[in-house]
Amino acid sequence: MQVEEFLTLVEIQLGRDHYLIDSNIIDKFIVPLPTVEVYDAPPYIDGMVEWKQEMIPAINVAPLLGMEKAAESNRRRTMIIPAGKVMGTPMAVSVDEVSMIRKVEFREVMPVDISACHGIEDYVKGIIRVVEESVGGTEQMVLLYLNLEKMMRELLKGKVARPTPGFYVWRWDSAISSQSG
């Protein structure tokens, strides 16, 4: 008897599009938290949120994929990524909706034509064809399987939001950690 190995993936929605990401980097799914604005932050940083008595970055995935940020919705969710999975600190990652958890066989991950990925080719692990059963019959969808961990790690490398001395303002610091003096 051969044991099949599966990937456990989370199906997220951004705008009208659905994507798959690895579930092993996510600790919790929660409703969005109140956000503190960060001065000079790139568009994918919504701000800072308080999580377990610590201020952590709130990241919106949509601008990373070249999409507009969606309007507020009651289906919007925040995924908490614990410290050590991507960065040394936890992160709050905002998506429009968390649809479901899917078990997918490794052999179901197909290579993708990177020319179709328009700027995110480094962050796509493949495509996965899924079948949805509904009252009207079955529907096949092809979903991009994103490497969210790599996307976050590369975009946030060496960057952090810090409280500005003497002010109650958070400022985005993208300076290189070692500066010559």
pLDDT tens digit string along 125-166?
A: 999 998 888 788 888 888 989 999 988 887 777 555 555 554
With respect to residue 113, please indicate whether it lies within any of the assigned structural domains. yes
Across 21-29, average pLDDT: 94
Q: Count how many domains the chain has.
A: 1
Please answer whether residues 7 and 130 qualify as being in contact, where contact means their C-beta atoms are separated by less than 8 angstroms. no
Position 128 scores a pLDDT of: 93
Picking from 31, 45, 29, the residue whose alpha carbon sits closest to that of residue 79 is 29
Across 90-100, average pLDDT: 92
Q: What are phi and psi of 107, to 5 degrees?
A: -70, -15
Long-range own/partner contacts, residues 115-120 (CB < 8 A, 24 or more apart): 117/144, 118/66, 119/66, 120/64, 120/65, 120/66, 120/146, 120/151
Q: What percent of the chain has a predicted confidence (pLDDT) above 70?
A: 81
Position 10 scores a pLDDT of: 96
CATH label of the domain that carries residue 141: 2.40.50.180
With respect to residue 179, please indicate whether it lies within any of the assigned structural domains. no
Q: What stretch of H or E contains 91?
A: strand 91-95
Position 104 scores a pLDDT of: 93
Across 63-91, average pLDDT: 84
With respect to residue 151, please indicate whether it lies within any of the assigned structural domains. yes
Query: Which structural domain range is residue 94 located in?
Result: 6-173
With respect to residue 35, please indicate whether it lies within any of the assigned structural domains. yes
Average pLDDT, the chain: 81
SS3 156: helix
With respect to residue 1, please indicate whether it lies within any of the assigned structural domains. no
